[in-house]
Structure 1
């Protein structure tokens, strides 16, 4: 079975050795055929040349160059994707910091009592001066994180 497949592949792979003829009929239409015209028309015989595929060394060299190029491109794409993912994660973190700073600023500006927790775990309520200082610091964080 394998031998018959091999033989058929080799037969079809061989270059065609048939002659090609070109002629123009009475209607002015050009014809190409492997047989000369039946009538006594003047036919031009066309010589067909079959190109070679080059040496095996050239093919190996081209293949090696293509592989190197593909590898280089895939590495560059991988780096680009990694940079995009890193930038996306950084942008998300920046957005979270912005939202947290805005929420804290809103809480400080609402006018309710605001407290912090000291090292002992006790609440310390902010007086108006400390509250204004905290609002200024938080506004600076909002400006930095959101712009």
Structure 2
């Protein structure tokens, strides 16, 4: 019986020493070169105490292989979904950029043709040419210039 009490006392003493060492403070400081350091003893000055998560308690269950694999699968699925969404967004942006480029080229060409033309005309309901008055021509050129600004910026 005496031997069991001695073992119990030794076990309690060992547990208390471990808890004291685990409860030791951790210090964080930055040196002259800007590097961050951690340690159990602070330098002369400038260190701050840091709270450290001791990890899972000894009574908490350790995840099994199946649980870890399932977590890994979920994480991989999430990464794959993220990549797919990013790829779709990039494809949409590329398509929009190509459409803008096409419309820009068309608007610049129309403005160039309007400025070089001697006369501008429009077609009436019967398909006959109707020459635009000077004020209508200026409006058409101004609209063409606005289209260039809209699509080419």
Normalized against structure 2, the TM-score is what?
A: 0.56
Determine which of 114, 139, 144 is the counterpart of 1:133.
Answer: 139
Gapped runs of 5+ residues in structure 1?
A: 1-56
Determine which of 90, 96, 103 is the counterpart of 1:97.
Answer: 103
Determine whether 1:110 maps to 2:116: yes
Helix, strand or coil: the match of 2:126?
Answer: coil
Match of 2:87 in 1: 81
- Measured after TM superposition, the shift of residue 127 of structure 1 is 2.2
Computed over aligned residues only, the root mean square deviation of the Cα atoms, in angstroms, reads: 1.3
- Measured after TM superposition, the shift of residue 119 of structure 1 is 3.0
Determine whether 1:124 maps to 2:139: no
Gapped runs of 5+ residues in structure 2?
A: 1-62
1:1-147 matched pairs, under 5 angstroms: 58-147=64-153
**Higher Cα radius of gyration:** 1
1:71 and 1:118 mapped to 2: Cα distance? 60
Which portions of structure 1, spanning 4 or more consecutive aligned residues, are displaced by more than 3 angstroms? none
Normalized against structure 1, the TM-score is what?
A: 0.58
- Measured after TM superposition, the shift of residue 140 of structure 1 is 0.9
